Amino acid sequence: MSARKVARPAERGHSGGGARHGAADGEPLTGSVEDYLKAIYELEEMTGLAAATNAIAERLDIAPPSVSGMLRRLAALELLSYERYKGVSLTASGRRAALRMLRRHRVIEAYLAGELGYPWDRVHAEAERLEHAASDELIDRMAAALGHPAHDPHGAPIPTRDGTLVMVPRQMLAEQAVGSRARVAAVGDEDGELLRYVASLAIKPGTMVTVVARAPFDGPLTVEVAGKGTKAQRTHVVGSTVARAVMVDAPVKRKRST
Amino acid sequence: MSARKVARPAERGHSGGGARHGAADGEPLTGSVEDYLKAIYELEEMTGLAAATNAIAERLDIAPPSVSGMLRRLAALELLSYERYKGVSLTASGRRAALRMLRRHRVIEAYLAGELGYPWDRVHAEAERLEHAASDELIDRMAAALGHPAHDPHGAPIPTRDGTLVMVPRQMLAEQAVGSRARVAAVGDEDGELLRYVASLAIKPGTMVTVVARAPFDGPLTVEVAGKGTKAQRTHVVGSTVARAVMVDAPVKRKRST
DNA sequence: TGCAAAAGTTAGGCTCTCCTAACTAATGTG
DNA sequence: CACATTAGTTAGGAGAGCCTAACTTTTGCA
Ligand SMILES: [Mn+2]
Ligand SMILES: [Mn+2]
Ligand SMILES: [Mn+2]
Ligand SMILES: [Mn+2]
- Cα–Cα distance for residue pair A249/A169, rounded to 1 Å: 6
**What residues of A are in the B interface, CB distance below 8 Å?**
2, 4-5, 12, 31-32, 58, 61-63, 112, 115-118, 122, 125-126, 129-130, 132-135, 137-138, 141-142, 145
Ligand 3 centroid from CA B34, angstroms: 7
Quick check: A12 pLDDT over 60?
A: no
Percent of chain A scoring above 90 in pLDDT: 81
The residue-averaged pLDDT of B231-247 equals 93
A146 neighbors A112 (Cβ within 8 angstroms): no
Give the nucleotide with minimal C1' distance to the Cα of B11: D16
CA distance A34 to chain B (A): 13
B62 touches strand D (CB under 7 A): yes
pLDDT in tens, B139-160: 999 999 999 999 999 999 999 9
- Residue B169 and residue B186: Cα distance in Å, rounded? 11
- Banded pLDDT at A162 (limits 50, 70, 90): very high
Cβ-based contacts of A137 with chain B (< 8 Å)? 122, 126
Q: Check the CA dihedral B184-B165-B129-A6 and report its sign.
A: negative
- pLDDT over 70 (residue A1): no
In this predicted model, what pLDDT tens digit does every residue of A122-134 receive, in sequence order? 999 999 999 999 9
Query: Chain A residues with CB inside 8 Å of B137's CB?
Result: 122, 126
Burial of residue A68 (CB within 10 Å: 0-12, 13-18, 19+) is middle
Residue in B256, B257, B251, B229 with CA at minimum distance from that of residue B180: B251
Instruction: Check whether residue A64 has its CB closer than 7 Å to nucleic acid strand D.
Output: yes
B189-221 in b/e burial notation, b at 16+ Cβ within 10 A?
Answer: bebeebbebbeebbbbbebebbbeebeeeeeeb
Which of B5, B122, B133 has the CB atom closest to A133's CB atom? B133
H or E, element range at B133: helix B123-133
Contact partners, residue B91, CB within 8 Å, separation at least 6: B78, B79, B80, B81
Q: Is A96's pLDDT higher than 70?
A: yes
Q: Chain B, 94-153: which CBs lie within 7 Å of strand D?
A: none
Of the pLDDT bands very low, low, confident and very high (cuts 50, 70, 90), residue B13 is: very low
Region B12-36: mean pLDDT is 65
Q: State the pLDDT at residue B14.
A: 31
Name the pLDDT band for A65 (thresholds 50, 70, 90).
very high
CB nearest A135 (choices: B115, B126, B137)? B126
Instruction: Please give the interface size between A and B, counted as residue pairs whose CB atoms are below 8 Å apart.
Output: 60
Cβ <8 Å between A145 and B116 = yes
Smallest CA-to-CA distance from A164 within A145, A143, A150 is with A150
Maximum CA extent, chain A: 78
Band (pLDDT 50/70/90 cuts) for residue B167 is confident
C-alpha of A148 from chain center: 18
Strand partners, B90: B80
Better-scored residue on pLDDT, B71 or B216: B71
Q: What are the pLDDT digits (tens) for B91-130?
A: 999 999 999 999 999 999 999 999 999 999 999 999 999 9
pLDDT band at A136 (very low <50, low <70, confident <90, very high): very high
Does B26 have pLDDT greater than 90? Answer: no
Choice between A84 and A6, residue whose per-residue pLDDT is larger:
A84
The CB density around residue A196, as the number of other CB atoms within 10 Å, is 13
Of A21-30, A98-107, B232-241, the one with minimum mean pLDDT is A21-30
Average pLDDT over residues B177-204: 95
Share of chain B above pLDDT 90, in %: 81
* pLDDT tens profile A181-220: 999 999 999 999 999 999 999 999 999 999 999 988 777 9
* Spatial distance between the Cα atoms of B87 and A209, rounded to a whole number of angstroms: 67
Q: Which residue of B has its CA nearest to A11?
A: B12
**Confidence band of B218 (pLDDT split at 50, 70, 90):** confident
Tell me if A16 sits within 8 A of A84, measured CB to CB: no
What pLDDT is recorded for position A8? 55
Residue B17 has pLDDT above 90, yes or no: no
Q: Scan residues 21-60 of chain A and list those with Cβ within 7 Å of strand D.
A: 52-55
Question: Quick check: B83 pLDDT over 50?
Answer: yes
User: What was the pLDDT predicted at A129?
Assistant: 98
Domains of chain A: 31-90 (1.10.10.10), 170-249 (2.30.30.90)
